[in-house]
């Protein structure tokens, strides 16, 4: 009997570490496979993870009261997720860029109101492309002001999108309640009108499609790009925001300023192959 017990314990000692190792490996794989990275270290809090549903949107916390809204659309037949930003302030909510579709925008408005129990004060559009501006009409219909630069307003009109109020030329710095906000035009790049949004309280820089995520191996949609000006425009961002802690690109995962350097590398590679 004692010998049997001894053999059993010996077997347990041999197999337990392997079992623990397998469990840890499995958990690690599961966390990675969700694809929800979060640079602040806090666990992401998706409100709706149904990206397979084309009308759904996802809310993911970036840092403190700043969240990303993520929706999916199609570019050249490929399904692509797009990021916009949500700043929850003491006085209301600021949204940067709309989702890809009007239905997703309606769902975003419902999700934001339900989750944060606050009104949306205004929306900022970073450039006149479908993944940034398609939902503008839904906000305007609900009497939520939609702001852009005059250049983006002009581009929007040309392309048949709803025209935002071009107030950002005059008011590049704004505040709402406890949250400051700056919009900055660093020059032409992904488009001729692309702007970025800086949140000084949290040191978050939302760059939209001007900056590529680290997993990007190409420059994405360059139909309206100025490839010659883009590298200098990206360098302007590095110079203006040396203390950016989190850089949120238009597509893919956010990270630090190395996303901007990665974009410059992609641009250099692209110019060599041309």
Q: Which is nearer to Zn ion, 109 or 130 (CB)?
A: 130
Has 165 been annotated as catalytic?
Answer: no
Given the residues 65, 107, 129, 193, select the one marked as catalytic: 129
How many CA within 13 A on the CB side of residue 159? 18
Has 262 been annotated as catalytic?
Answer: no
Has 251 been annotated as catalytic?
Answer: no
* SS3 per-residue string spanning 193-214: CCCEEEECCCCEEEEECCCCCC
Q: Which is nearer to Zn ion, 83 or 202 (CB)?
A: 83
Cα 264–Cα 269–Cα 271 angle in degrees, nearest 5:
95
Q: Which among 192, 203, 38, 59 has a CA at the least distance from the CA of 126? A: 192
Has 131 been annotated as catalytic?
Answer: yes
Chain residue at closest Cβ approach to Zn ion: 129
CA-to-CA separations, 254 to 61, 83, 220, in angstroms, rounded? 11, 9, 16
Has 190 been annotated as catalytic?
Answer: yes
Q: Which is nearer to Zn ion, 108 or 209 (CB)?
A: 209
Q: Which is nearer to Zn ion, 147 or 161 (CB)?
A: 161
Token code pair at residue 96 = 């940067």
Nearest distance, CB of residue 190 and Zn ion, angstroms: 5
Applying CB under 5 A, which residues contact Zn ion? 129, 209
Count how many residues are written for the chain: 274
Given the residues 221, 251, 253, 262, select the one marked as catalytic: 221
Given the residues 69, 127, 251, 262, select the one marked as catalytic: 127
> Catalytic amino acids?
127, 129, 131, 190, 221
């Amino acid at each position: 009997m004692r010998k049997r017990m001894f053999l059993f314990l010996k077997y347990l000692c041999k197999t337990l570490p392997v079992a623990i190792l397998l469990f840890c490996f499995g958990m690690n794989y599961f966390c990675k496979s969700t694809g929800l990275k979060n640079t602040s270290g806090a666990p992401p809090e998706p409100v709706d993870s149904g990206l397979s549903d084309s009308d759904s949107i996802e809310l993911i916390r970036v840092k403190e009261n700043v969240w990303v809204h993520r929706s999916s659309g199609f570019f050249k037949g490929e399904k692509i997720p797009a990021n916009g930003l949500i700043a929850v302030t003491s006085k209301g909510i600021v949204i940067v860029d709309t989702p890809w579709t009007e239905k997703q925008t309606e769902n975003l408005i419902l999700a934001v109101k339900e989750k944060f129990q606050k009104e949306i004060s205004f929306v900022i559009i970073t450039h006149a492309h479908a993944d940034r501006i398609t939902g503008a009409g839904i906000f305007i219909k609900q009497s939520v002001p939609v702001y852009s630069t005059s250049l983006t307003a002009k581009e929007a009109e040309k392309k048949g999108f709803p025209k935002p109020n071009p107030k950002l030329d005059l008011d590049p710095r704004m505040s709402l309640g406890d949250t400051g906000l700056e919009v900055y035009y660093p020059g032409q790049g992904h488009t001729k009108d692309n702007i970025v949004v800086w949140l000084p309280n949290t040191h978050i820089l939302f760059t939209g499609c001007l900056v590529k995520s680290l997993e990007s191996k190409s420059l994405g949609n360059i139909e309206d790009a100025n490839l010659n000006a883009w590298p200098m425009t990206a360098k302007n961002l590095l110079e203006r925001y040396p203390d950016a802690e989190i850089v949120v690109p238009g597509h893919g995962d956010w990270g630090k300023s190395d996303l901007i350097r990665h974009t410059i590398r992609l641009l250099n590679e692209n110019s060599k192959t041309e």
